Amino acid sequence: MTDQPQDAPTVRDNPAEQRFEIHVGETLAGLSAYRDLDIGSVRQRIFFHTEVDDAFAGQGLAGILTRAALTESVARGRRIVALCPYVKRWLDSHHDVDDAVDPVGPEHLRAVS
């Protein structure tokens, strides 16, 4: 008897919903919601909520999702603003995009309210 291979998770941007999604097979397993804010020539992406469905807990999907979402956002010329507690904690221990992180200001809070 052989174990069935699990589907590898895939991360996709869903700009219509303003979120990155992580899928396992065809199942939506989690998301990271964002709002884009352009102030002059500064293009920012505010991450304000990340969640993974309980059915997929403990598989490291939030970290995979966050790394992909932040990396892709920076590659597209966006600076990162972390309102989401998970994204903040991830940034504290991963330094992949340190040079593209901006502090939270009142304009960011207004953008997501």
Total-model pTM: 0.92
Domains of the chain (ranges, CATH numbers): 9-111 (3.40.630.30)
CA distance 112 to 47: 9
pLDDT in tens, 69-91: 999 999 999 999 999 999 999 99
SS3 label, residue 7: coil
Environment class of residue 63 by beta-carbon count within 10 Å: exposed (0-12), middle (13-18) or buried (19+)? middle
Query: Each residue of 46-55: pLDDT tens digit?
Result: 999 999 999 9
